Amino acid sequence: MWVFAGLTALVLAVIALGIKDISKPPAVATPAALSASVRTTQRAAPAASSRPKLSSSTLKKTSGSSKTIRTIRKIADADSGLSYRLLSRWQRGCSDSLNTPMFRWSAGEHAVAGTVSGAPWYGNACSGLLQQQFQYYGAADLEPTAMSLAGAMDPAHYSGLQHYQILEGSSAIRVSGHQAWEVTFQMSYPDAVGQGLAFSNEAGAVVVVDRGAGQVPAVFYASVPSNLGTSDVKSLVHSLRLAT
């Protein structure tokens, strides 16, 4: 009997200890422990990114380079209202030799392509108003007028060299919304070597622009020897603008 009573007392003691542990309040993390954990996380955050930061000087350089504006030089003809690109290494002014009773140029540009009989031979791009020798009554006359100008320029500007003219194109175009007509041609010099020329041909174009009722048409003429780059003729025509 005393043995049974001893076992009973032991069981009750174990149960009492379990109840005492359960009744203890749970451990709570102290504010110091929480803040330490946050600080550790914050110190580790920058290491997660390996992307370098741009300095203020780099940002300014990047921002400045994106706003670089390339200025295009141009010729502005106050008489005809035409404006067009001034080619690199070309100079302002139309050669005086191009002014004849049939053609009067009020603005232009030129570059020396070589010499002919000791005198300079130029590449030219010139503009002006249509002279009275060429009849013009309206936009319907654009094509015949442009063709007449291209034909008249042959003896007026190229007679100093043995040559022949090849008509390459004739088409309607627009210049700042105004009706216009372009005639393109090529001048070939079959005896270029014998004549001591630095070029063998020239690309040329004539453009007549209708400026409106009662207004004299504007005329643009370009002729570029092969050693200066004949593709510049197309570039010049594409750059044409008419002031309104």
What is the rounded average pLDDT of the residues 92-115?
92
pLDDT reported for residue 96: 83
Residue 178 CB: number of other CB atoms within 10 A? 20
Confidence of residue 90 (pLDDT cuts 50, 70, 90): very high
Per-residue model confidence (pLDDT) at position 240: 98
Q: What percent of the chain has pLDDT over 70?
A: 71
Q: How far is CA 122 from CA 59, 92, 197, 225, 240, in A?
A: 48, 12, 12, 8, 21
β-partners of residue 224 are: 203
Q: How far apart are the first and last CA of the chain?
A: 128
Q: What is the pLDDT of residues 56-77, one digit of tens each?
A: 333 344 345 455 566 779 999 9
- The whole-number average pLDDT for the span 92-106 is 90
Confidence at 124, pLDDT banded by 50, 70, 90: very high
Say yes or no to pLDDT of 244 above 60: yes
User: Which pLDDT belongs to residue 149?
Assistant: 96
Integer CA distances (angstroms), 92 to 85, 178, 179, 208, in order: 11, 26, 27, 21
d(CA 237, CA 83): 10
- pLDDT at 121 exceeding the cut of 60: yes
Quick one: average pLDDT of 36-40? 36
pTM here is 0.71
pLDDT tens-digit series, residues 149-171: 999 999 888 988 899 999 999 99
State the pLDDT confidence band at 120, using cuts at 50, 70 and 90: very high
Phi, psi of 4 (to 5 degrees): -60, -40
Express each pLDDT in 193-243 by its tens digit: 998 999 999 999 999 999 999 999 999 999 999 999 999 999 999 999 999
Query: Which CATH superfamily does the domain covering 74-242 fall into?
Result: Mog1/PsbP, alpha/beta/alpha sandwich (3.40.1000.10)
pLDDT over threshold 60, residue 192: yes
* Residue 69: per-residue pLDDT: 64
Helix (H, G, I), strand (E, B) or coil at 222: strand
- Compute the distance between CA of residue 49 and CA of residue 38 in angstroms, rounded to an integer: 19
Round to whole Å and give the CA distance between 9 and 194: 137
Instruction: Evaluate if residue 27 carries a pLDDT over 60.
Output: no
What pLDDT does 160 receive? 81
Q: Give residue-wise pLDDT tens across range 8-25.
A: 444 444 444 444 444 444
